[in-house]
A and B are shown apart, each in its own frame.
Chain A
Amino acid sequence: DAKTTQPTSMDCAEGRAANLPCNHSTISGNEYVYWYRQIHSQGPQYIIHGLKNNETNEMASLIITEDRKSSTLILPHATLRDTAVYYCIVANAGGTSYGKLTFGQGTILTVHP
Chain B
Amino acid sequence: DAGVIQSPRHEVTEMGQEVTLRCKPISGHDYLFWYRQTMMRGLELLIYFNNNVPIDDSGMPEDRFSAKMPNASFSTLKIQPSEPRDSAVYFCASSLARQGVNEQYFGPGTRLTVT
Residues of A within 8 Å of B31, CB to CB, are 98-99
Q: B45 at interface (Cβ–Cβ under 8 A)?
A: yes
Closest B residue to A34 using CB positions: B102
Of the candidates A51, A99, A104, the one whose C-beta lies within 8 Å of that of B50 is A99
> Are B45 and A102 neighbours in the complex by a CB distance under 8 Å?
yes
Q: Contact mask A30-73 → B, CB, 8 Å, 1/0?
A: 00101000100011111001010000000000000000000000
Closest A residue to B58 using CB positions: A100
Taking Cβ atoms with an 8 Å cutoff, the residues of A that contact B are 32, 34, 38, 42-46, 49, 51, 87, 91, 93-94, 98-105
Residues of A within 8 Å of B50, CB to CB, are 98-99
Give the interface residue-count category, chain B. 20 to 34
Q: B104 at interface (Cβ–Cβ under 8 A)?
A: yes
Taking Cβ atoms with an 8 Å cutoff, the residues of B that contact A are 4, 31, 33, 42-45, 48, 50, 55-56, 91, 93, 95, 97, 99-109
Residues of B within 8 Å of A32, CB to CB, are 100, 102
Nearest-CB distance from B37 to chain A (Å)? 9
Bound state CA distance, A94 and B98, in angstroms? Answer: 8
> Are B45 and A98 neighbours in the complex by a CB distance under 8 Å?
no
Interface SS of A by simple majority? loop
Residues of B within 8 Å of A100, CB to CB, are 45, 48, 56
Query: Which 10 pairs of residues, A with B, have the shortest CB-CB distance?
Result: A43-B106, A103-B43, A46-B103, A93-B102, A93-B100, A94-B99, A43-B91, A99-B48, A44-B106, A99-B31
A-B contact pairs, 9 of them (CB 8 A): A42-B109, A43-B4, A51-B100, A91-B102, A93-B101, A99-B31, A100-B56, A103-B42, A103-B43
